[in-house]
């Protein structure tokens, strides 16, 4: 767990699908709620939104802030604004602890240095352990005037209901396919400007082909809940390719065995579970379409099993990751074979 005054990667990028969320913020005018919770799946830019909102809250120009010429914004950019505290659990396995929330509490009790209040951003608020969550609840119960808490979470079911009920929610939803397309086009044109004629190939043409393919890539879109930043991330880190390869391997179960597993070690367990779920749900749909309703029963059972394991992973119950990985990977051929039980 890291608690830091400023994040090294302090992104305040605005994304085109944040319009409604900014509209909601603007509707509060100068009465921003004391505690906000940004919800929605990963990859929608909630962290960047939280950072930008913190910056705008502390800026003397308020929500209208455009230029970054004020001292508050300059201090934010240099990572030294004394009125901003960011709690960021830097890796998936790490927790937010009670000591961190104690620090939040004392920070909020201090007077604002620059006179625009104080802001605490807690990224991945679901990573608070139970004592941290209870400590935060106390802070929320006695809201200090002129002090703001901006929480973000992609797993709100893991947050105490008493915390949820004390936060005003700002909901983030995946943009439509045309919006995703437009955003990727923009990203690609920037890439083209930065790397013109790389390797002598016409990047624009190569990328527009890739874009067409991407928009038809149901696996990639589904696994990432159509969240543009997650899709981009998977394309950049090679996981998109890996998932497709694993998917192809699973189609050919006669040749699939445990020796293939190491090739997929870079995929997270959750990603593998999501691939299995995607395959299972597709099979269920196809059986429905073929009016083979009896055959959907084992598929539904398989789906329940996968969902239960996925939920276990999400709750991160003292799991031995190696063992679970082995168990899950070993289960793949077996699980995948269930849908293919021969008809009697």
By CB under 5 A, residue 63 contacts Zn ion: no
Give the dihedral sign, CA 317/320/322/326: negative
> Minimal distance in Å, beta carbon 112 to Zn ion?
15
> Minimal distance in Å, beta carbon 70 to Zn ion?
4
Stretch that binds Zn ion, among 13-21, 63-71, 121-129, 309-317 (CB under 5 A): 63-71
Question: Hey, how many other C-beta atoms are within 10 angstroms of the C-beta on 160?
Answer: 17
Among 3, 73, 135, 149, interactor with Zn ion by CB under 5 A: 73
- The 3-state DSSP composition of the chain as helix, strand, coil percent (nearest 5) reads 60, 10, 30
3-class state of residue 163 by DSSP: helix
DSSP letter for 257, please. Answer: -
- Please identify, using beta-carbon distances, which residue of 55 and 152 lies nearer to Zn ion: 55
Q: How many residues bind Zn ion (CB under 5 A)?
A: 4
- Please identify, using beta-carbon distances, which residue of 65 and 118 lies nearer to Zn ion: 65
> Minimal distance in Å, beta carbon 35 to Zn ion?
23
Between CA 44 and CA 21 the distance in angstroms is: 12
By CB under 5 A, residue 253 contacts Zn ion: no
Using CB under 5 A as the binding rule, the residues of this chain from 98 to 127 that contact Zn ion are none
Rg from Cα positions in the chain: 23
> Minimal distance in Å, beta carbon 52 to Zn ion?
11
* Residue 254 CA neighbour count, 13 Å, CB half: 0
By CB under 5 A, residue 211 contacts Zn ion: no
By CB under 5 A, residue 59 contacts Zn ion: yes
Among 1, 70, 114, 206, interactor with Zn ion by CB under 5 A: 70
- Please identify, using beta-carbon distances, which residue of 67 and 106 lies nearer to Zn ion: 67
> Minimal distance in Å, beta carbon 32 to Zn ion?
16
Residue among 143, 119, 127 at smallest CA distance from 51:
119
Among 18, 65, 127, 287, interactor with Zn ion by CB under 5 A: 65
Decide: 175 and 21 in contact? Cβ < 8 Å: no
Between CA 239 and CA 140 the distance in angstroms is: 40
- Please identify, using beta-carbon distances, which residue of 12 and 224 lies nearer to Zn ion: 12
- Please identify, using beta-carbon distances, which residue of 60 and 146 lies nearer to Zn ion: 60
Between CA 3 and CA 270 the distance in angstroms is: 27
Stretch that binds Zn ion, among 72-80, 106-114, 231-239, 262-270 (CB under 5 A): 72-80
> Minimal distance in Å, beta carbon 64 to Zn ion?
10
Decide: 122 and 151 in contact? Cβ < 8 Å: yes
For every residue of 186-226, DSSP letters joined together read HHHHHHHHHSTTGGGS-HHHHHHHHHHHHHT-HHHHHHTTT
> Minimal distance in Å, beta carbon 207 to Zn ion?
36
Q: Note the Cα 32 to chain centre separation in Å.
A: 24
How would you class 77 by CB atoms within 10 Å of its CB: exposed for 0-12, middle for 13-18, buried for 19 or more? middle
> Minimal distance in Å, beta carbon 53 to Zn ion?
13
Using CB under 5 A as the binding rule, the residues of this chain from 306 to 325 that contact Zn ion are none
Footprint of Zn ion on this chain (CB under 5 A)? 59, 65, 70, 73
């Amino acid at each position: 767990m890291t608690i830091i005054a400023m994040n090294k990667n302090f992104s305040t990028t605005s994304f085109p699908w944040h319009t409604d969320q900014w509209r909601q913020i603007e509707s509060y005018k100068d009465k921003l709620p004391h505690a906000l919770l940004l919800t929605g799946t990963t990859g929608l830019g909630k962290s960047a939104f939280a950072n930008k909102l913190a910056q705008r809250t502390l800026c003397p120009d308020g929500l209208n802030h455009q230029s970054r010429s004020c001292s508050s914004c300059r201090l934010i950019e240099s990572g030294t604004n004394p009125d901003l505290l960011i709690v960021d659990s830097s890796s998936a396995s790490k927790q937010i602890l009670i000591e961190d929330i104690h620090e939040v509490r004392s920070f909020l009790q201090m007077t604002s240095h620059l006179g625009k209040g104080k802001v605490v951003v807690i990224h991945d608020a679901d990573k608070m352990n139970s004592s941290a969550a209870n400590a935060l609840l106390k802070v929320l119960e006695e809201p200090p005037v002129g002090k703001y808490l901006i929480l973000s979470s992609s797993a709100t079911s893991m947050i105490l209901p008493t915390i949820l009920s004390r936060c005003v929610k700002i909901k983030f939803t995946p943009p439509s396919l045309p919006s995703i397309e437009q955003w990727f086009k923009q990203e690609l044109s920037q890439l083209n400007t930065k790397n013109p004629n790389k390797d002598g190939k016409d990047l624009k043409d190569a990328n527009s082909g890739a874009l067409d393919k991407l928009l038809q890539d149901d696996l990639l879109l589904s696994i990432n809940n159509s969240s543009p930043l997650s899709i981009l991330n998977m394309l950049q880190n090679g996981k998109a390719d890996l998932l497709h390869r694993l998917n192809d391997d699973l189609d050919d179960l006669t040749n699939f065995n445990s020796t293939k597993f190491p090739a997929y070690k870079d995929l997270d367990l959750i990603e593998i579970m999501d691939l299995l779920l995607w395959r299972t749900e597709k099979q269920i749909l196809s059986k429905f379409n073929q009016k083979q309703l009896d055959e959907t029963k084992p598929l539904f059972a398989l789906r329940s099993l996968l969902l239960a394991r996925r939920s276990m992973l999400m709750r991160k119950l003292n799991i031995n990751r190696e063992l679970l990985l082995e168990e899950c990977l070993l289960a793949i051929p077996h699980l995948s074979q269930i849908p293919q039980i021969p008809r009697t």
